[in-house]
Structure 1
């Protein structure tokens, strides 16, 4: 009776969810029962352990012997898992009384899942984890017309500790098949979500099956528990939305057509908020083609443009967005992968003989007013993400970030880095050179990519820019100082004649003075001064103005 009721419950839940935006595949092909359930020991109610340590998962109705208390921490009896990291997405585990994992232990082990309820989708979501270490998978997605889409290098983290992939669910405990002792470690074990984008040419085809092959040689045992998808729907959204030709007052937004081209074109909504508009939000405008120009914008302002398909008078698709800041330019790195230098304990002042170099161009009449950077570092061999160190330097100004940035995760994988509000290049004009220094704390010697590297295609430097004072009227307090903070040389600039500059420490003591300047720009050397805060007094045709600076 228990098996029949659970079967009915699983099918009812799956059928209900299939009608939603996300689709839960009903699958066959699982080859292992790794979830203890019902009455009886863990070994008696499973076929094999999830990992190499003879541990397995358990259901909330698991009892070692009749009358034992059921665990307060366990997988739900229904097998329905809501994704805590992506609202609306759910996964359905197979019955606990039968095989419920596609378990791949050895290199080249192959398994297949077939779907009883095929569907056309834009994205596949795989619920998985790995026991006794990380595992890597290759595979193939099969479609109803006989075509397929391969994937490779899917890194599945160990079921403990990792945040390398989105964590769907955690903290549901485990049980030993040897001793039947239940454990409840904080925030562990974990289910992860691995995402695969379906290529546009395949999005109108039903997905019918998937193959998985363990490609890694390490000990990690891959376990695939469920597959869900984001449905294509009848009014799919456009893709590859990008902002380009960004100036201080305008930007061009362009995109790739939805796989089902909407009959009435596309609608867009522009806002200074990051909040997604509701389905009933009136659009700001319409575009019959694949682009729209936003004009009348304010410099230095963050905007988000949302675009959706307009399929009929009564049907529009989901909003899809891109965000940008006016007066902001992003420059990608075009070189090869950047190697890492082995240094056991690198610091922000450590030398690095193999950095990546990237030059940005500041438009004439403007200067840099803040920088952000993004890149990915990837492990190789048995390097770990936690062994990664990196630092951004502006060679033009001679300034660098004050501290290294470290990776996280005691496993292999790819770690993404994003930092903003960096002020190491403020005031720089023309061609400005940056370098990205990368180290590893384990593996070999010197510079190489054998254990860790920066992926070339992932590194960008984005800078905000503001008008130089030469294009503005010099009002009270409008002179600029750059770079600020600075390690040595600063520039003071206005559009009127500077007569005298004085620098004072916070005790009111004068530490520097320049007289008879009679120019609109002057430089001051701070190299001999202690680090700290100072007050800079500028005497010009407009009177006396004072601003704070930082010597670092």
Structure 2
């Protein structure tokens, strides 16, 4: 005889719908436009590095800054220095994209948008207890924040605080950004970038065969904060060691499931 299985069929269809939806709707990642950068540490265009940047990555807390910076693919020094030569081809030793859009080596779905190479593009923290806030141009929700940065002269210990529009915050203490020539790290976004001197405009690929490197910190928000608009991230360097450089933030968001249809039912029958 025929037996109605209305409730069971509806549960089955619901499970199938949810399963299919989740399988095809992956987490999304959106680069965040930020304000609050303090220094330009990326050489670009034609001219002396000291003219196209305002500070270095591995120098002291104050001028004169005579250390090294990162460089864009369009950098050309006063004597014709360029990021890549036949000895260091771009395919193996890529300078930063002229567009400033970087794709993570950890997950190709995650991209980072660097700020203009012709303006302040880094939050540079050198002294103990130095702090700064990167403010979101447009507050937004997220499940995770991915923070892009590096460190000169040594690893930098960091405490990060995610600030919300309702005045609350979530802290992420005891974070570490490795030195830009460190090895053995598992959170490397880009490597073999090369660097250029503010002192003499020399392009350098010596030292660690994988450096300079950029790293990612993942900040996973608590369930109670997922619906809150994020207004910015405050970064504090509690110790003297290292020059912390924060370059970008990308927001991760979980997929939004479609509403389950109501007011309809499916009736399945079976014969026994």
TM-score (normalizing by structure 2): 0.76
Q: Could you say which residue in structure 1 is the equivalent of 2:149? A: 128
Deviations 1:482-528 (A, max 9, x none): xxxxxxxxxxxxxxxxxxxxxxxxxxxxxxxxxxxxxxxxxxxxxxx
Q: Could you say which residue in structure 2 is the equivalent of 1:104? A: 125
Q: Could you say which residue in structure 2 is the equivalent of 1:231? A: 253
Structure 1 residues 465-484: aligned runs within 5 Å: none
Which one of the candidate residues 312, 322, 325 is aligned to 2:260? Answer: 312
Q: Is 1:221 paired with 2:234?
A: no
Q: Could you say which residue in structure 1 is the equivalent of 2:228? A: 205
Q: 1:165 deviation in Å?
A: 4.2
Distance 1:165 1:117, change over 3 A: farther
Q: 8 Å contact 2:103–2:111 — kept in the other structure?
A: yes
Which structure's CA Rg is the greater one?
1
Counterpart Cα distance in 2 of 1:232 and 1:115: 19
Q: Is 1:151 paired with 2:159?
A: no
SS in 2 for 1:100: coil
Q: Could you say which residue in structure 1 is the equivalent of 2:74? A: 61
Q: 8 Å contact 1:165–1:193 — kept in the other structure?
A: no
Q: Could you say which residue in structure 2 is the equivalent of 1:182? A: 203
Q: 1:152 deviation in Å?
A: 0.7
Deviations 1:303-353 (A, max 9, x none): xxxxxxx8525xxxxxxxxxxxxxxxxxxxxxxxxxxxxxxxxxxxxxxxx
Q: Which one has the bigger strand percentage?
A: 1
Deviations 1:420-466 (A, max 9, x none): xxxxxxxxxxxxxxxxxxxxxxxxxxxxxxxxxxxxxxxxxxxxxxx
SS in 2 for 1:223: strand
SS in 2 for 1:44: helix
**Alignment coverage as a number of residue pairs:** 219
Deviations 1:55-90 (A, max 9, x none): 111111111128x26322411100001001123000
Q: 1:139 deviation in Å?
A: 2.3
Q: Is 1:70 paired with 2:85?
A: no
Q: 8 Å contact 1:135–1:216 — kept in the other structure?
A: yes
Q: 8 Å contact 2:82–2:203 — kept in the other structure?
A: no
Q: Is 1:193 paired with 2:216?
A: yes
Q: 8 Å contact 1:91–1:127 — kept in the other structure?
A: yes
Counterpart Cα distance in 2 of 1:63 and 1:144: 43
Deviations 1:349-378 (A, max 9, x none): xxxxxxxxxxxxxxxxxxxxxxxxxxxxxx
Q: 1:147 deviation in Å?
A: 1.4
Q: 8 Å contact 1:157–1:165 — kept in the other structure?
A: no
Counterpart Cα distance in 2 of 1:128 and 1:165: 14
Q: Could you say which residue in structure 1 is the equivalent of 2:40? A: 33
Q: 1:54 deviation in Å?
A: 0.5
Long gaps (5+) in structure 1: 1-19, 236-309, 314-552
Counterpart Cα distance in 2 of 1:58 and 1:81: 13
Structure 1 residues 450-461: aligned runs within 5 Å: none
Q: 1:136 deviation in Å?
A: 0.5
Q: 1:233 deviation in Å?
A: 4.2
Which one of the candidate residues 41, 57, 64 is aligned to 1:50? Answer: 57
SS in 1 for 2:174: strand
Which one of the candidate residues 77, 87, 90 is aligned to 2:111? Answer: 90
What CA RMSD, in Å, does the superposition of the two structures yield over aligned residues? 1.9
Long gaps (5+) in structure 2: 1-26, 60-65, 85-93, 262-272
